[in-house]
Amino acid sequence: MMTTSPNPAKAQPARPATPEDPEIRKIKSRMRALRMRNALELASRVKVQADGSRMFVRFTTGEIVEHWVLLFSFLTLGVTGLLQRYARLSVPAFSINTLFGGIESLRTLHHAAAIVFILASVYHAARILYMWFVKRQVGAMLPTVKDGLDLMNMFRYNLGMIRERPQFDRFSVEEKLEYWALIWGTVIMVITGLMQWYPTLTTRLLPGTAIPIARTAHSMEAILAMAAVATWHVYHTLVKERNTSIFNGLMSEHDMRENHPAEYARIMEACEYVNTREQEPVPTPLPLKPAGS
């Protein structure tokens, strides 16, 4: 009678588990700590109100103050600059003499607002560099491939070709366009403004025709910027979306789900992640609805 030989693979004793490399354990521990830190940061944006409703923190106090400084300096520059451009007309001339006490006072106010605007721009640039090189964060305003797709889908949505809006994250494509238009306009306005403020130094470095060119570019960009803010920015934020979060820092849960569904999902996922690892409860997610429904 023949007997079958046992399977060699099954006959071998089980190998003891290899201990994990200490360096690998450290890396995994750091990754878990980093994920928890990011989750806690996202979950902290949810604020439960007295009536049980939830608000989402969109902007910090520093960002709100920065926006107020930008708002007042921008409007002051726009009004005083346009009055100088059209100073020969009767209404601007009357305003200059009665409200500002003459053209020199108007120019002094314009220059003071320009200094505030430049300092605010430098502060904002420093914040970006700190975020990039210290916190090692990319930033939500950098354009991505998805933004291009979202822009095309917004056109299709507005034309009725698709039923759902793009799933925006922290900032929509309209907000990113406004932001980069502001950056581009700031660079032009600061350079051409300083060229006119220091014409002697400018003509030492550049031909004399640089001054009238700078004056024209400065004036045209100012008109474009004021028109864009009065129509595009005000319409999209205050009229279309009724978004006042830049003034109080908060946005309702309904507006978050409608206008920033991708960010809302990330925050709710972070709340759920923290809930599984902490005793203190964190708000749980609601079922997402398709944007625009």
What's the pLDDT tens digit per position in 168-202? 999 999 899 999 999 999 999 999 999 999 999 99
Query: Does the pLDDT value for residue 286 go beyond 60?
Result: no
Burial string for 243-274 (b: 16+ CB within 10 Å, else e) reads bebbeebbbebebbbbbbbebbbbbbebbebb
Give residue 283's pLDDT: 53
Taking only the tens place, the pLDDT of each residue in 2-23 is 555 555 555 555 555 555 677 7
Q: What are phi and psi of 48, to 5 degrees?
A: -85, 125
Summarised one tens digit per residue, pLDDT across range 206-242 is 999 999 999 999 999 999 999 999 888 888 888 888 8
Beta strand pairing call for 250-252 and 54-57: antiparallel
Q: How far is CA 206 from CA 200, 202, 212, in A?
A: 10, 6, 12
Displacement of CA 160 from its chain's centroid (Å): 28
Question: Can you give the pLDDT at residue 1?
Answer: 46
Q: Say how far residue 205 (Cα) sits from the centre of its chain.
A: 36
Q: Tell me the average pLDDT across 254-272.
A: 93
Tell me the CATH class for 54-275. Answer: mainly alpha
Give the sheet arrangement for strand 54-57, strand by strand. 46-48, 54-57, 250-252
Give 165: exposed, middle or buried? Use CB within 10 Å, 0-12, 13-18, 19+: buried
Q: Give the pLDDT confidence of 26-62 residue by residue, as tens digits.
A: 777 778 877 888 888 899 999 998 888 899 999 999 9
Mean pLDDT value of segment 237-248: 89
How confident is the model over 90-122, as pLDDT tens digits?
A: 888 888 888 888 889 999 999 999 999 999 999
pLDDT value of position 151? 93
d(CA 21, CA 257): 44
Residue 131 above 80 pLDDT? yes
Round the average pLDDT of the chain to a whole number and report it.
Answer: 87
Higher pLDDT among residues 288 and 257, named by residue? 257
Q: Give 135-160 pLDDT, tens digit per residue.
A: 888 889 999 999 999 999 999 998 99
